[in-house]
Chain A
Amino acid sequence: MKQSIAVAATLAMVIGGFCSQAVAKDTRSAAAVAAAPTPAAKDAATAEFDKFREVMEDSNPAELFEAKGEDLWQTRRGPKSAALADSCDLGLGIGVVKGAYVQMPRYFADAGKVMDAERRIVWCMIEKQGFSAEELFRTPFANENFTPEPTSLVTYVAGASRNLKIAVPIDEPHVQDVYRLGREVFSFRAGPYDFACATCHGEDGKRIRMQQLPNLAKKEEAIRAYQGWPGYRMTGGFMLTQQWRMNDCFRQQRFPEPRYLSDTVTSLLTYLTANANGNVYKGPGIKR
């Protein structure tokens, strides 16, 4: 019996070890090493990675952040000493978390805005708990040494929509309006390289290097921009949200930086999420 335990433990450590190796590895060369010349073999390389991700999804460190987020949601905190669970309405009633994530972005009359999950949560932290906006906006995204509270909260809220269908209320006029703005943002070309989101994500079956590019304008593929977020990034080992994803897209587009929780980012998220309406969300994911 001791023997089998030891073997299992070693295996677990190998999985752990693989992650830390992935940190050091340049993804491009890793892909090149794994790839063989025929298209079929390339798909095999992708399949291998998918298999690895499947194993990791079973014990995703994102759960740690879900737990932390739940704690933050339940606890009375901030200058107003309020719990989000007693004060924050994510669209389905005060304190209701289950199913809220897959029904955002949505219109919130109290804020007069269409908001995505992260924007809403931060709004609640500021309005209901009295946290300083300046503070929250200073370091909005996680790094090796730091996880912002909204990131954990988003992960918790997202986890409470696991296996539920995405259902952005697109027929609501405010949401519809923001959706249309998002569609325009998606195809807006500018910057030194003349890039729009659509330049890389507007066609079927394309790749950048070995990275598959979903056609986000298409219903069947838009889910790929949604699934797996918020995601635990194995490279570096930290949790990232869709707000970060959009931010980093603009970086790669060679644009200046979108402001955290800005209308532009919300509009894009509205466009992308509503395009994925009807698909089942699998909960916080894992990314390489």
Chain B
Amino acid sequence: MPNRFLFLLTALLVIAGVARADDYRLRALMMIQNDFQAKGQAGLDRLETDSLQHVCNKYSDKPPEALLRLVEADQLATVKYPADGRLMGDWREGEKIAQSGRGFTWTDKPGLPVGGNCYNCHEISPKELSFGTLGPSLRNFGRNRGNTPEMRQYVFSKIFNAKSFNACSAMPRFGYIGALNEEQIRHLVALLLDPDSPVNQ
């Protein structure tokens, strides 16, 4: 429901905005729809932008403040918390998930499990030296932020749907798109917050 409302809103904004860049954006979009073919698990449906992608594309990742808040609230509403309320798993399992970057390409086998891709962009455990820098360092995350219930909920939500806190973040929405399940996200929460995790050593 909120998604539909948002779509309407952005559709109106699209009609209202008549900047020249939009002509090219629209033409590029039509060109893309024409030029791709499904391969492996990567179907053409992947080119259909959802409301969030649409807003970020439209505003070059910088939507106006009011729209930003709407979008983020909309995304936060998609987060499904575990029914039993347990948010901490096993950091050892979390480390394995963080290491893997596999999944969702047309050469990957369809289905789960797929990797968390975490090290692609973040420094996490001090033992892993091959880490990316697209995202902030998560070294000492738990030590700096505290292993509180609020922080556990935040981390769970962030991994489930990163766009809840930064609408046009570069980070994928792992839980929302079904890349990581509840149990896997729990393990990643533990990797960041468990005092015994190497992240906090």
Contacts and interface: CB of A to CB of B under 8 A. Distances in A.
B129 A35 contact: yes
Contact of A208 (B34, B46, B121): B121
Given A190-B53, A193-B104, A257 B37 contact: yes
A210 B134 CA distance: 11
B10 to A, nearest CB: 14
B36 A36 contact: no
B9 interface: no
A207 B131 CA distance: 8
**How big is chain B's contact interface, by range?**
35 or more
A254 B107 CA distance: 10
A257 B106 contact: yes
Interface in B97-111: 101, 104-107
A252 B28 CA distance: 20
B35 A192 contact: no
B133 A205 contact: yes
Nearest to B163: A194
A54 B128 CA distance: 29
Interface residues of A, number: 48
A257 B42 contact: yes
Contact of B57 (A189, A192, A210): A189
Nearest to B39: A257
Contacts of A190: 46-49, 53, 57
Contact of A264 (B35, B49, B53, B163): B35
B152 to A, nearest CB: 24
A221 interface: no
A188 B28 contact: yes
A189 B44 contact: no
Contacts of B48: 190
Interface stretch (B88-96, B140-148, B170-178, B187-195): B170-178
B56 interface: yes
Contacts of A35: 129-130
SS class of chain A's interface: helix, strand, loop or mixed?
mixed
B35 A259 contact: yes
A63 B131 CA distance: 35
Nearest to B169: A194
B42 A254 contact: yes
A199 interface: yes
Interface string A130-151: 0000000000000000000000
Interface stretch (A85-93, A153-161, A162-170, A179-187): A179-187
Interface of A: 28-29, 31-32, 35-37, 42, 180-181, 183-185, 187-196, 199-200, 203, 205-211, 213, 250-252, 254-259, 262-265, 267
Nearest 3 CB-CB pairs, A to B?
A: A184-B28, A262-B35, A193-B172
Given A209-B120, A251-B105, 17 more contacts: A42-B129, A184-B25, A184-B27, A188-B32, A189-B49, A189-B57, A190-B48, A191-B47, A191-B104, A194-B173, A195-B170, A199-B134, A200-B134, A205-B133, A208-B134, A255-B46, A263-B34
12 contacts: A36-B129, A183-B24, A184-B29, A189-B61, A190-B48, A190-B57, A208-B120, A209-B130, A209-B131, A251-B107, A254-B104, A259-B35
